[in-house]
Structure 1
């Protein structure tokens, strides 16, 4: 409860008509709004129905003592902050005054009382409680500002930021609030807690000053009945606008609190903008390092997908590669450990090294050995990589597979779906590698390669995710439909990138023999 700036609402409780009349008259001449009660019960009833800033309470009442009334006033959370001044028409022993003060009274007066003494005592009690109420109000609003700041700084999207800022402004100001912000390259976002200050968004954009922060009071723009707090986290960035009813920023304290919240929102928006720009740059870089197009081979149709991690995660190092080696095809899928721009850069190096080594080397195990040595020498543990490498010979209906710590290929044919039994240590640690394994690839067989982002699930074993994937694949699936379905079923809201590659041995194509051989 915050008392009014001038005068106060005072309840005078006294069963003696003359005494009550005199005290009421003095208080009204002092500028106060006075109500009257004759008994303790009536006083408590009025306190339950109306707000008062002070109770002037006679000690001797017909139904209960003033001590009991004061005690009940102070024990009720609704009235505990209301100051009580005891008044006694007769001389009281010191012990009586002590009892009154101990049981809730804030002051104790004894007849005869001078008008100035009564008014001075009332003013002293009101002054203390006004200061206390203002301090409690400020502390409450600062606590709300702190809570709003924590929520604003924990948001991860511009939409969530607009909503959190609007709710924070409404909590701090105690009124409806509307927040407008402009994400880079996106539409204007509006967060609002009530229609009272919701205007046409365009009207809140007009006439924005170039100041870093300011408060615009009506009528700064015709037709906009709201105070608008403007804040910028960066002079080159679009401003954050917080609109509240004019009465919400009536005092300097009000303006400062809402302005602090707007500036907090502007700084949080700058963080989101910086992250969005960095994430977009990393995605652009990573996509530029993936194959721009896949070979078109009638005997070996193929499709691929790359799905970046959710917008809240860093960029990763997942990749796939397809390189034509005469009448054979080199297919690889891999994952550089870590989630950062550095991981994406290592991925680019690994992919280019793979293509370079494949120019003169056809043994997939030897290619893995060379990449292993390159990573160990130049990147160490920061470049640890998993990779599955396949050399496909459509004419011979075979595939030669070498694995470097990666999820093995999933092959589906008329007999069912299974993982190929190929193992080997990951790349970058210099361990010995088993020889490549050759498998048959009859017409109609489909092979699916993926990174662990597709099959890893929080709280579940990798084997469980791999089994779920196995049962979701059939050899006659349309590959594009299959890849889209797998991403929809297994790849939502993942914290890791996903690379997915599928190809099918479609029909026999005889090997072309060079002339003169």
Structure 2
């Protein structure tokens, strides 16, 4: 059914009758009522016309020379392209009630017998059109609502502002069946513009973000959704647009979804555009909140880590901390360096979980570590005492891994104690290898071994990391450890090495990464 007929008014009617007089009379009545009429004299002509043209109703004689009107009706109703077209059957030889029953049973929407009164014919035509127009409108709106639901899911699933703009534009183009442009602004103030459904090769413009930002600001929408009719937009300077602008907070940059006025045929379409804009604004608010929480969490996390590392000419060191890429919560990864009268205690650890509780335990572990180190306890004893503290005060949320290195440059040694952590990786002119130092994690009260004292020759590089660098879903931990081992050389500049490892092994990880490198110079 064509859009004009869906909205009411004149319709395109196919009149099929082999009798010239009957066909002429019916066509005259329909044309006087404003309908457009196409004539056919056989079933074959009618079926060809239905394949090549669009009709809103078929007025069909029951007795055609080449096929029964009943069979033609069944063909019309069986074809998905014409199944919704109403068929009014007209018979000059109707005698038995069963004939009418057969016609209606085989798909006719009305059955009339000649001679028929003009008023009766037109009334039946209008009734059939009215019913099928209402049904077509309902199906049309239901299809749009289904696409709206799908689009809303995609909008809410967007994880970045670029993806949100694209999802909103694609959704609007799909729901309203036309070109659509979506505009969203990231927390940094960068305007993201996406266009979808463009039917012209020149429909995509290289936009100046400032022009889009100024255009949005000039419209000055309030909180909520505002419908705008604009003479032009930066991406459509030659034609007017209909736009829905939405804002969730007074000081929040609005989002906008704009379409050509032809895509908004009535109130239903305007409401659909309004709902899309509202869904996009709420999704943008969620992304804003996530970004703000992530920034706050990262600031707090970094405040719990050493601001600077000690400078020692014989033992340069560098460290990196990278938060999980998909998690706004605070993690429990940490590293620390404590200078102790010519020796240096280096620690790296990971409190299980991502939460305020994990960060709180991490801060407590760091302060405890420092206190025990200042008191003069050796690495193994520090781990024992920390284990007791966690077991007593954090029995359910204090599971922690930690590795301690006590470096003595005068003796040229390092004392290593490990509590369930990734073992230190040593790189020298013999290659790279993990130290065979093990022990149970902290917080479970198990007996733990004494520290292992090892030489630290000149030219040796030591790498400490948390498991976020080597773990990946679907990959064995040993495989991740081997990838790291193969990527480390004692000849690399340590800052360049740290950055390269994060680039090659740390992208898109779901866990925080703490990385610490030290080297005893030759």
Q: TM-score range by the shorter chain?
A: over 0.9
1:196 to partner: Cα distance: 4.8
Residues 198-234 of structure 1: CA deviation (Å, up to 9, x unaligned)? 7852434422232421211244889561001011223
Aligned to 1:78: 81
Residue 282 (structure 1) aligned with residue 297 (structure 2)? yes
Aligned-partner SS, 1:448:
strand
1:9 to partner: Cα distance: 0.8
Aligned to 1:343: 358
Aligned to 2:226: 214
Aligned-partner SS, 1:457:
coil
Q: 1:210 to 1:233 in 2, by over 3 A?
A: closer
> C-alpha distance in 1, partners of 2:216/2:495?
47
Q: 1:323-338 to 2 correspondence within 5 Å?
A: 323-338=338-353
> C-alpha distance in 2, partners of 1:79/1:466?
64
Q: 1:170-319 to 2 correspondence within 5 Å?
A: 170-193=173-196, 194=198, 196=203, 201=212, 202-219=214-231, 225-312=240-327, 314-319=329-334
1:197 to partner: Cα distance: 8.7
> C-alpha distance in 2, partners of 1:179/1:343?
40
Residue 104 (structure 1) aligned with residue 107 (structure 2)? yes
> C-alpha distance in 1, partners of 2:394/2:40?
86
Residues 447-493 of structure 1: CA deviation (Å, up to 9, x unaligned)? 11111011112112212211222222222232222212211221111
Aligned to 1:436: 451
Q: 1:108-119 to 2 correspondence within 5 Å?
A: 108-119=111-122
Q: 1:306 to 1:83 in 2, by over 3 A?
A: same
Q: 1:332 to 1:211 in 2, by over 3 A?
A: closer
Q: 1:117-196 to 2 correspondence within 5 Å?
A: 117-193=120-196, 194=198, 196=203
Residue 221 of structure 2 contacts residue 246 of structure 2 at CA under 8 Å; is this kept in 1?
A: no
Q: 1:333 to 1:358 in 2, by over 3 A?
A: same
Please identify, of 286-295 and 306-315, the stretch whose mean Cα deviation from structure 2 is larger. Answer: 306-315
Please identify, of 485-494 and 128-137, the stretch whose mean Cα deviation from structure 2 is larger. Answer: 485-494
Residue 224 of structure 2 contacts residue 278 of structure 2 at CA under 8 Å; is this kept in 1?
A: no
Q: 1:369 to 1:227 in 2, by over 3 A?
A: same
> C-alpha distance in 1, partners of 2:391/2:378?
20
Aligned to 2:48: 45
Aligned to 1:413: 428
Aligned-partner SS, 1:73:
helix
1:22 to partner: Cα distance: 0.6
> Which residue among 393, 401, 414 is the counterpart of 1:386?
401
> C-alpha distance in 1, partners of 2:327/2:28?
68
Residue 309 of structure 1 contacts residue 495 of structure 1 at CA under 8 Å; is this kept in 2?
A: yes
1:91 to partner: Cα distance: 2.8
Aligned-partner SS, 1:338:
strand
**TM-score between the two structures when normalised by the length of structure 1:** 0.94
Aligned to 2:10: 7
Please identify, of 378-387 and 173-182, the stretch whose mean Cα deviation from structure 2 is larger. Answer: 378-387
> Which residue among 370, 380, 396 is the counterpart of 1:365?
380
Aligned to 1:515: none
> C-alpha distance in 2, partners of 1:380/1:186?
45
> Which residue among 59, 63, 87 is the counterpart of 2:62?
59
Aligned to 1:69: 72
> C-alpha distance in 2, partners of 1:105/1:452?
72
Q: List structure 1 runs of 4+ shifted beyond 3 angstroms.
A: 195-200, 218-224, 311-315
> C-alpha distance in 2, partners of 1:478/1:96?
95
> C-alpha distance in 1, partners of 2:37/2:428?
93
> C-alpha distance in 2, partners of 1:315/1:48?
64
Aligned residue pair count: 507
Aligned to 1:25: 28
1:430 to partner: Cα distance: 2.1
Q: 1:211 to 1:366 in 2, by over 3 A?
A: closer
